[in-house]
Every structure is written in structure tokens, then in C-alpha cells.
Structure 1
Amino acid sequence: MDDAKGCKHIVLVHGACLGGWSWFKVATPLRAVGYRVDTPDLAASGVHPMPLRDVPTFRDYTAPLLDLLAALPAGERVVLVGHSLGGANIPLAAEMFPEKVAAAVFLCAFMPGCAARPSKVLEKFVEENWLDFMDTEMKPQDEEGKLPTSMLFGPKVAREKFFQMCSPEDLTLAISLMRVSSLFLEDQQVQQPYTQERYGAVRKVYVVCTEDYAIVEEFQRWMVENNPVDEVKEIAADHMVMLSRPGELVQCLQDIAEKYA
């Protein structure tokens, strides 16, 4: 084990309806070469025991990640990687713990800026119909509308928009493990913008996936243009790059960790 790498800590944050399990092809080789890797399940995701109805806010949803950072020893910094909706979780973590984030990495992910409320990129994505949600189920959780709208990707949208470069086995596994989630749009619409002094000061890398049919390349690049980052990298992969092109992603994350951590 490389002692220098052993000091480097990478935290991989999954997207909506997924869980820490989605990183298994990436976490394993990174650990094998000496990195410390965490793949937390966000609330009501993966094997986290809580049901979505008990997760009323985006901060509640992000709590397992925030708890992980809060527990880090003083002086320890992580490379924080957010995939898809996980790109909305890592700015909240960076806003709260900027001193603990060596770099925030957005992997074909939503990326809020500091000039508008956190929901802006999600609102644009939904309102301008950047994704045909197909057989995705979206429905209210309660009659009063106090809880966030629930969301579960169907097999058709998963196969055609998210996993089109993945193996049939990976698609089968993912569909069996997906859980009802939410974009938490309603809650994020009432939050204040993140600050330039905290989240804004954290170094950022955007990894564009050029064959992504979910958050398409054009939308990824629009976010980068509107919220410039320290570096942009590219992988010719679909949205589920960690399953379809794990070797390329592992190399990409190693390069980022060696440069920023």
C-alpha cells in the first residue's frame, strides 16, 4: 500500500434512487491501491433504514454525509464526489464544512452556484424538459403537500437514458436495488444561496460524461459555463459511468486526488 495514497480520503455520494452500492466497481480498486473510500447511503437510500416519508427536507436526506464529515478528525480533508443528484448534496456539505473538503467533484451531476438558490439548476432541468422521464413515477407523499414529491425511475427510462452502455446484469441489479427517492425541489426552493466565502471557495472539478442521455452533455456544460470550476475532465460514458466505465473513472478520480488532496 502506498502510504501517500493511504492518507487520501475519497467520499463517493450517490444519486437519486441509488445507494452507496452503485460505487462498488470504483470503490474496490481505489481501496486496493491505498485510498480510503467511503460510500455513504443517504437517508432513505441503499440500506439506510429510514423510509422517505421520514425524510422531509434535503438536509435530512443529506444527514449521513454531513455526519461523516462532522466526525472527521481536525485537519483531515476529503475529495468529495457527487454523482447526478449527489451534485446537490456536496455543496451543502461544502458550505457547512469547507475546511474539510479538498475538492468537490461533480460527476455528470447537478451543480448549484452561489448566485441563486440551490434549486435553480434543478428547476431549469425540469421546466425545460431536458430529460424525458418516461415511466418514472412521481407522486405526492401526503395530501397536504408538506412532504417532498416522491420519485422512482422505471425500467424503461433506466435502460434507455441512464444505463444504455451498462451490461444487462448491471441494469438488472440496479433496478432491483433502486428505492423511492425525491429531487427535494420544494425544500431546495426555499433555501438561501450558498456563500462565496464557504462553498464558493472550495476547489471544484466537473467530470463531463459525453454519452449521458439523462443529464445530457449540453446541460452539463451549461452548468460549468454558469459556475466556472478549476478543471473539467471528460469520459465517453453514459450516466452510470461508475458501472459502464469504472476503470476510466477510477483513473480520473486518482488523478484528481493526487492533484487536489
Structure 2
Amino acid sequence: MGNALDCMPSPDPRDGIGSRSKRNSKPRSQRKTLASEEEMLHRQALAMAIQQHQLSQRFEGSMSRRIGSTSSRRRDLPDSLTNEKQQLVLENLETKKIILVHGEGFGAWCWYKTISLLEEVGLDPVALDLTGSGIDNTDPNGITTLVDYSKPLTDYLHSLPDDEKVILVGHSCGGASISYALECYPKKISKAIFLTSTMVLDGQKPFDVLSEELASADVFLKESQFLIYGNGRDKPPTTFMFDKLQMKGLYFNQSSPKDIALAAASMRPIPFAPIMERLSLTPEKYGTVRRFFIQTLDDHMLSPDIQEKLVRENPPHGIYKIKGSDHCPFFSKPQSLHKILLQITQLP
């Protein structure tokens, strides 16, 4: 846990989980059937949520503001911009494929509004479930490295043709996964967008970013009532999970009751080991991809001050800000987030 994480081939996250099969007394065929039914229900729910959003879509009053690395001039897209005009602008892009990487405890389901909006203008969004998240049935308590946790993302990038590029979007602790991906597959990534996320430095742990808000690692380990000890109290904690009231205050202080209810029913325990790993990031790989940071100005999980510190210590190519957004702008400010994603996508 103390060593820097190097870019390496992703092992199967099922390796090293130990006696999980012994703990599950149901026959394998029954477990497969239940997992298949659960996956189908999740996919149906996501499809219904996207359809509902398309029917009820409305523009938000608050606009995002871009502050670029070379100019502080306001560059908002007007609300009156039509889908037809947007598609004309999007015809000559380097890539239309945007990979959405969720943060801690979330899954692909959290992007349902963003998926709908991006598809409407002709882009190709892909939302992934990281290992042990969303409908991935891996036990989060068995995930011991960032390599394992990020395997669905690195596998996806590995499978791309050599001449194809994508844009990565990482939310919250998903920033660590996309940073790792930048180091592993820089030539397959056109741009990387850090959405109020852990944009770490070389040798830094994702927890280092969060610790200024939560507590130091030592205090968190000793005092946190949110830690889960999947291997027994005499072993290090394996996951953590905030209670519903804590989640609402940290993540969803500007989100709708419907989205809060969706999150409360869908969020899963967060693997602890990956956020305690140090990343090894090099100028020759990680440093060759353009990075952009989206700040959320009413964020209780990662305060605006901490976000400012992140971009000051590890300057990206551009900074964007969303007023009135909590830690989850895909819920609280989906239109503002959408417009920023369009702006970044269209940058030459």
C-alpha cells in the first residue's frame, strides 16, 4: 500500500478474493440466474430513467463559466443553441466517444441524464461500472488495488483500435482511475476531464485529497464509524460507506429528492485500499494528455477551496466552474455540466 502504483497489465479482480465462493452457499447456477436477473433489472431501470429524463428535460437557469488556462474570458454556450447547430459543430471532432467514469460508491447508473443529453447531440457516451460497482457483482471487500478497481476502464481502453481515441470523464475518486488510465494508455486518450475529482500528483494517494475534508488517515482509521472490516476487526478495513444522512449532506445538498432516493438505493460500499495507493505518473505518458478540471461551487464533499488547491498544485489546461452545484452536477446541474462537456469536446 505504501509503494507508488506503476502502470501494469490489469489482473482479474476475482483473483485473490479468497474463500468468497465458500461463503456463498447457493448453487452456482442459481447465483448466475440471480446475477443475470439483477443486471437486467438495473439495465431496464437505467433505460427508463433516460427515457423519463428525455421527456421531462428542461434548461437550468444557472450557466457554467469557463476560466481557461490562457484566458479568463467568459465562454458560455447559449441556451438557444439548437441540437441541429450543435451537430454541425460536432461533425469534425477528433472523437465523439466519451467514457464516463463514476466516483466512489456510484456506478454507471449515476450518468443517466448526461448520457441522454450527449446522445441527443450526436456524441457517443459510454458509462462504465468499475469493479465492485453498479451491476458488477464483485465483492467490494475483495478489491485490494487500484489496478483491480480500474480494470473495466483499462480493459476497455486496451480493446480500442490503435487509431481510435476517447475522452475520459472522471468524477470524484474516479479521478484516480482516469489518472492511472492516462499513464497506461496516453495515445488512446484525446482529453481527460476531472469532474470535482481527485486529480493527484505523482506519488500522491487519492485519500490525500479527501483527507483535508474528512480527517487525516490515522484519525479516519481510528474514529470513523463508516469503515467496514470484511476480513475481521483484527485486519485492515476493506470498505467504507456513509449513512444516508451523511451522504445527503456531503454529496447531494443541491440534488432533487428523486435523485437522492436513486443514489441511496444504488450506492455500494467503497473499496478502501485503492484510495490509499500512491500513483506513479510520468510526464512522458500522463503528462502528454490535455487535462481539464470542472469545479463545483456549492460542493460539501470536496470544497471549492480544496478544488482550487488541486488546480493550483497540478495545473490543468483549462478550468470550468458550475455555480450552485453540489458534488454531483450530473444530478444537480445536468445542463450546465452538459454544456461544459460540449465546450471541451469541441476544443481543437
Considering the TM-score relative to the shorter chain, is it more than 0.5? yes
Task: Report the CA distance between 1:201 and its aligned residue.
Answer: 2.0
Paired position in structure 2 for 1:84: 172
Matching residue within 123, 140, 145 for 1:35: 123
Per-residue CA deviation, residues 41-74 of structure 1 (Å, 9 max, x unaligned), is 0000000121113322111010000111111111
Establish whether residue 156 from structure 1 lines up as the match of residue 156 from structure 2.
no
Does the 8 A contact of 1:235 with 1:248 survive in 2? yes
Establish whether residue 108 from structure 1 lines up as the match of residue 179 from structure 2.
no
> What does residue range 71-220 of structure 1 map to in structure 2 within 5 Å?
71-114=159-202, 116-119=203-206, 120-128=208-216, 137-143=226-232, 145=235, 149-184=238-273, 188=277, 191=278, 193-220=280-307
Paired position in structure 2 for 1:58: 146
> What letter matches 1:93 in structure 2?
A
Establish whether residue 227 from structure 1 lines up as the match of residue 314 from structure 2.
yes
Does the 8 A contact of 2:292 with 2:319 survive in 1? yes
Counterpart-to-counterpart distance in 2, 1:126 and 1:161: 10
Matching residue within 203, 228, 246 for 2:334: 246
Paired position in structure 1 for 2:80: none
Task: Report the CA distance between 1:79 and its aligned residue.
Answer: 1.0
> What letter matches 2:209 in structure 1?
V
Task: Report the CA distance between 1:126 and its aligned residue.
Answer: 4.3
| Aligned length, in residue pairs | 253
> What letter matches 2:126 in structure 1?
D
Closer/same/farther in 2, CA of residues 168 and 126 from structure 1, 3 Å limit: closer
Q: Indicate the RMSD between aligned Cα atoms, in angstroms.
A: 2.3
After alignment, is 118-127 or 224-233 more displaced? 118-127
Per-residue CA deviation, residues 16-41 of structure 1 (Å, 9 max, x unaligned), is 11000000000111012111111000
Counterpart-to-counterpart distance in 2, 1:61 and 1:97: 16
Does the 8 A contact of 1:85 with 1:183 survive in 2? no
Does the 8 A contact of 2:291 with 2:318 survive in 1? yes
Structure 2 unaligned spans of 5+ = 1-86
Task: Report the CA distance between 1:128 and its aligned residue.
Answer: 4.9
TM-score by length of 1: 0.89
Counterpart-to-counterpart distance in 1, 2:188 and 2:212: 30
Does the 8 A contact of 1:10 with 1:37 survive in 2? yes
Counterpart-to-counterpart distance in 2, 1:137 and 1:49: 22
Closer/same/farther in 2, CA of residues 159 and 117 from structure 1, 3 Å limit: closer
Task: Report the CA distance between 1:99 and its aligned residue.
Answer: 0.5
Task: Report the CA distance between 1:193 and its aligned residue.
Answer: 2.4
Larger Rg: 2
Q: Aligned to 2:128, what secondary structure does the other structure show?
A: coil
Does the 8 A contact of 1:14 with 1:82 survive in 2? yes
Task: Report the CA distance between 1:239 and its aligned residue.
Answer: 0.5
Does the 8 A contact of 1:136 with 1:157 survive in 2? no
Does the 8 A contact of 1:81 with 1:107 survive in 2? yes
Counterpart-to-counterpart distance in 2, 1:26 and 1:91: 21
Task: Report the CA distance between 1:117 and its aligned residue.
Answer: 3.1
Counterpart-to-counterpart distance in 2, 1:158 and 1:122: 15
Establish whether residue 11 from structure 1 lines up as the match of residue 112 from structure 2.
no
Per-residue CA deviation, residues 144-172 of structure 1 (Å, 9 max, x unaligned), is 636x6311121111211211111111101
Does the 8 A contact of 2:143 with 2:273 survive in 1? no
> What letter matches 2:303 in structure 1?
V
Closer/same/farther in 2, CA of residues 94 and 186 from structure 1, 3 Å limit: closer
> What letter matches 1:170 in structure 2?
D
Paired position in structure 1 for 2:114: 26
